[in-house]
Amino acid sequence: MTQRKAPGWTLLGPAFVAAIAYVDPGNVAANVSAGAKFGFLLVWVIVTANLMAGLVQYLSAKLGLVTGRSLPEVIGAHSRTPSRIAFWLQAELVAMATDLAEVVGGAIALHLIFGLPLLLGGVITGVVSMALLVLGDRRGPRLFEQVTSGLLMIIAIGFLASLVVAPPAPADVAAGLLPRFDGTESVLLATAILGATVMPHAVYLHSGLARDRHGRPEPGPARRRLLRVTRWDVGLAMLVAGTLNLAMLLAAANNLRGVEAVDSIEGAHAAVGDTLGPTVALFFAIGLLASGLASTSVGAYAGAMIMQGLLRVSVPLLWRRLITLAPALAILALGIEPTRALVISQVVLSFGIPFALVPLIRVTGDRALMGTDANGAVTSALGWIITAVIGALNAALIYLTLR
């Protein structure tokens, strides 16, 4: 008797978990700041970054399906001990920057909704994210996917509400598709948007998510089907993430441009309440809270995968969580302006992108490792172009900032 194939839609999911990383509180800070300060100027950055991220996430998932290993495991297997440790140190710094954005964002949201002190909100965000991680660890990746996908829908409702109430003019949006900058601050925000969209830890994570969900199918029809489903998975997930990122910038550009004191999330929330009403402001805060809770769980999951693949040690979830949580709580305890910390954290993330992209493109183009599923010439060329563009933006950021 022939075994019936599962419907393709039931195989979707890993990309939506990875997509949580693309709508974290760091995105909110970078996108709202960009829209409020420069209007529709940086729309093109979000669109371009999302297209880049789609290709990158597919390559990561393909690596996991074809090799049965995560990207950190592949890097660790082809590196000597000093190189593995050095690579892990930079990846750990990126993981801390990631957690900073997510925990601080969750703390701000709890402050906006319930009036809680930021430090207490950060602790609550950390504890809830830990509970989500334990749930995924004990009940399997499928339940974790369902919970994070549900939070993604809450994020979508929260951030799309303002566009429904006050949509921008199509001509203004179209004008923002023309690539250009307007001074050092616009380059800083463009790099922050890029760092918040092409996320290093999501690149490392997606390979392991695809492997854990689907295993390592043998070459042939089964693998081709899974790769085809994965393309749909990534495409749909990035469409959702890209739409939300664009909605944040458009809402800020349309409603907050020229409004004073919107250079922080708290100020933006207050301005949204003044211009669009308290209900839309509440939706904004709820979306931010869901973003912080979901993304910090996914970030910690990625951190554990990175550590295990590069250091070849398995660290208990509690200790893994505390390692990346501590800097975020320190920022909140010291009273450092949280929104600025969020934007700078995204810039730090952008510097970690080449360390994830270069090995990803190299190994997925290696026929000895990937066989017939290795990247073609066009895919490899696009991958290297993406890496070069990101590197150029980072170099411009350093030059303009120092000057």
Q: Which of 57-61, 268-272, 358-362 has the lowest mean pLDDT?
A: 268-272
Instruction: Give residue limits of the domains in the chain.
Output: 12-174+201-402
Higher pLDDT, 132 or 156: 156
Confidence of residue 346 (pLDDT cuts 50, 70, 90): low
Residue that has been written with the tokens 């979000």 in this structure: 46
Structure token pair of residue 123: 């602790």
What pLDDT is stored for residue 1 in this prediction? 41
Decide: helix, strand or coil at residue 174: helix
- Say yes or no to pLDDT of 294 above 70: yes
| H or E element at residue 107 | helix 81-114
Structure token pair of residue 56: 């990158």
Higher pLDDT, 95 or 62: 62
Per-residue pLDDT reduced to its tens digit, 174-229: 999 999 988 888 888 888 787 667 888 889 999 999 998 888 888 888 899 999 99
What pLDDT is stored for residue 3 in this prediction? 46
Which phi and psi angles does 312 have, rounded to 5°?
A: 60, 35
Instruction: State how far the Cα of 192 lies from the Cα of 199, in Å rounded to an integer.
Output: 11
- Say yes or no to pLDDT of 68 above 90: yes
Cβ–Cβ contacts within 10 Å for residue 140, how many? Answer: 12
What pLDDT is stored for residue 12 in this prediction? 77
- Say yes or no to pLDDT of 287 above 80: yes
What pLDDT is stored for residue 288 in this prediction? 92
Predicted structure pTM score: 0.89
Higher pLDDT, 53 or 391: 53
Topology of domain 12-174+201-402 in CATH is Amino acid/polyamine transporter I (1.20.1740)
Segment 141-163 shows an average pLDDT of 86
Polymer length in residues for the chain: 403
Segment 390-400 shows an average pLDDT of 72
Query: CB-based contacts of 1: which residues, under 8 Å, 6+ apart?
Result: none
Which phi and psi angles does 216 have, rounded to 5°?
A: -120, 90
Which has the closest alpha carbon to 151: 9, 255, 23?
Answer: 23
Structure token pair of residue 272: 């949204």
Per-residue pLDDT reduced to its tens digit, 217-257: 888 888 999 999 999 999 999 999 999 999 999 999 998 88
Full DSSP string of 208-249: HHHHHHH--PPTTHHHHHHHHHHHHHHHHHHHHHHHHHHHHH
Per the CB < 8 A criterion, the answer to whether 46 and 193 are in contact is yes
Segment 23-30 shows an average pLDDT of 83
Q: Which of 61-65, 127-131, 267-271, 315-319 has the lowest mean pLDDT?
A: 315-319
**Residue 84 is which amino acid?**
R
- Say yes or no to pLDDT of 2 above 60: no
